[in-house]
């Protein structure tokens, strides 16, 4: 049994945040019907290079376990089909700009009246509630990372603000959407009613400020960029070793003593030095401690530091490239790289399911769909349409099918 295999998801989302959310619903068994425009489909189908046999690697990374149904829902007959599908769905997911779907009769109030059990999840840059001049604005990951404070914390102290190497504003919004949907499903089991799940990318970034926000609230000080150095824990940072970089995370005073003992000179004599014996003292004297630690770490290769720290029980690790991370034995042992056969691109690999359940685990079952691959099948199974009706809609350009 897959835990969500009794649910139908009508996915109107595109690009990254929404598809990332619906991918995990599909991983745990939900039937995800991804609505795409017959001409071009999801924007990410054209994101590239790279492409594999004209299929976008970007698109394929986040659209497994879904069915592609190509409908022009701006066409009156296409809109009617979309409304019929929404009436049967348990969950609708969309990431249009607030107000856009209302013009098509696909907004939450309209669909809730027709299907009171529907859980309607909206992901947008600034949310559906709040100041009107902001709710109407488009939201893009780069802009939201800047507005949400994350870019101001990322980068070297004397360098420019930097965005995260991954699209963290989009991805966090997708995960918060998943949380909201699952919570709403639990509530529906008790009340029998669905509800609107309103996810703002900006909200997501604000929530991730965590202790940075707490420090500001507590002191009034404005947190600043520290590169890879932790503002409240020392030493907890990236060091340059003789042949690369290594992360060493001394998260408490016990680990500090372990590091001093494992290294010996020149650290052993500092173990009980009042300037460094406690984390509070080490934070206060971080610059002085750096003059000792930096050349010490730089004198030995990464492998030596990893072995020394692991032997002493100190969290430590190298900086892996994407290729190295995806080839790591533990990553492979936990099935976090999964091979699939795509009908056009051929053999592909995707990342695995990061949430592991002991009794009802999720699974990567089907390859990302081609545009319109499931149009006829889904409309036949869900709406009872016959071949003649589908042929007519295809001739009129209302629906599309993969070739």
The CA-atom distances, in angstroms, between 378 and each of 72, 341, 344 are 15, 21, 20
Q: For position 1, what pLDDT does the model report?
A: 87
Q: For position 266, what pLDDT does the model report?
A: 85
CA distance 126 to 139: 7
Sign for the CA dihedral angle at 250, 252, 256, 261 comes to negative
Q: Let me know the angle formed at the C-alpha of 303 by 226 and 306, rounded to the nearest 5 degrees.
A: 60
Per-residue pLDDT of the chain (403 residues; tens, 9 = 90+): 899 999 999 999 999 999 999 999 999 999 999 999 999 999 999 999 999 999 999 999 999 999 999 999 989 999 999 999 999 999 999 999 999 999 999 999 999 999 999 999 999 999 999 999 999 999 899 999 999 999 999 999 999 999 999 999 999 999 999 999 999 999 999 999 999 999 999 999 999 999 999 999 999 999 999 999 999 999 999 999 999 999 999 999 999 999 999 999 889 999 989 999 999 999 999 999 999 999 999 999 999 999 999 999 999 999 999 999 999 999 999 999 999 999 999 999 999 999 999 999 999 999 999 999 999 999 999 999 999 999 999 999 999 998 6
pTM for the whole thing? 0.93
Q: For position 403, what pLDDT does the model report?
A: 65
Q: Which CATH number fits domain 236-240+245-318: 3.30.1540.10, 3.40.640.10, 3.10.180.10, 3.20.20.10?
A: 3.30.1540.10
Is 170 an annotated catalytic residue? yes
- The structural domains of the chain, with segments of one domain joined by +, span 8-207+329-400, 236-240+245-318
In the numeric block, the tokens 């909206």 are attached to 122
Which is catalytic among the residues 170, 203, 253, 359?
Answer: 170
Q: How many CA atoms lie within 13 A of 35 on its CB side?
A: 27
Q: Which CATH number fits domain 8-207+329-400: 3.60.110.10, 3.40.50.11240, 3.30.479.10, 3.40.50.10540?
A: 3.40.50.10540
Order across the sheet with 8-11: list the strands. Answer: 196-200, 119-124, 91-94, 8-11, 31-36, 67-71, 399-400
CA distance 260 to 289: 12
């Amino acid at each position: 049994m897959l835990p969500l295999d009794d649910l139908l998801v009508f996915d109107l989302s595109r690009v990254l945040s929404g598809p990332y959310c619906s991918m995990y619903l599909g991983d745990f068994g939900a039937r995800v019907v991804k609505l795409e425009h017959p001409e071009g489909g999801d924007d990410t189908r054209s994101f590239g290079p790279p492409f594999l046999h004209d299929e976008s690697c970007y698109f394929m990374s986040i659209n497994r376990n879904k069915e592609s149904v190509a409908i022009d829902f701006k066409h009156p007959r296409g809109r009617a089909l979309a409304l019929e599908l929404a009436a049967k769905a348990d969950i609708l997911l969309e990431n249009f700009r607030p107000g856009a779907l209302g013009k098509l009769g696909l907004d939450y109030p309209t669909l809730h009246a027709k299907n009171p059990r529907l859980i309607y999840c909206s992901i947008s840059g600034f949310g559906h509630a709040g100041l009107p001049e902001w709710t109407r604005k488009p939201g893009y990951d780069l802009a939201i990372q800047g507005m949400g404070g994350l870019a101001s914390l990322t980068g070297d102290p004397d360098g420019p603000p930097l965005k995260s190497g991954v699209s963290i504003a989009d991805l966090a919004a997708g995960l918060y959407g998943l949380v909201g949907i699952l919570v709403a499903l639990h509530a529906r089991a008790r009340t029998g009613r669905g509800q609107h799940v309103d996810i703002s990318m900006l909200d997501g970034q604000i929530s991730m400020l965590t202790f940075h926000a707490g420090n500001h609230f507590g002191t009034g000080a404005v947190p600043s960029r520290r590169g890879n150095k932790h503002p409240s824990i020392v030493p907890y940072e990236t060091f340059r070793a003789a042949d690369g970089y290594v992360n060493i995370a001394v998260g408490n005073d016990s680990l500090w003593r372990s590091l001093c003992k494992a290294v010996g000179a020149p650290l052993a004599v500092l173990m009980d030095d009042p300037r460094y014996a406690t984390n509070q003292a080490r934070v206060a004297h971080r610059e002085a401690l750096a003059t000792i630690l930096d050349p010490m770490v730089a004198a030995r290769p990464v492998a030596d530091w990893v072995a020394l720290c692991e032997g002493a029980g100190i969290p430590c690790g190298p900086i892996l490239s994407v290729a190295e991370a995806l080839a790591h034995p533990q990553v492979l042992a936990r099935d976090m790289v999964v091979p699939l056969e795509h009908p056009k691109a051929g053999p592909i690999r995707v990342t695995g399911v990061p949430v592991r359940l002991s009794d009802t685990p999720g699974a990567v079952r089907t390859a990302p769909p081609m545009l319109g691959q499931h149009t006829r099948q889904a409309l036949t199974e869900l709406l009872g349409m016959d071949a003649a009706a589908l042929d007519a809609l295809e001739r009129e350009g209302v629906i599309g099918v993969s070739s």
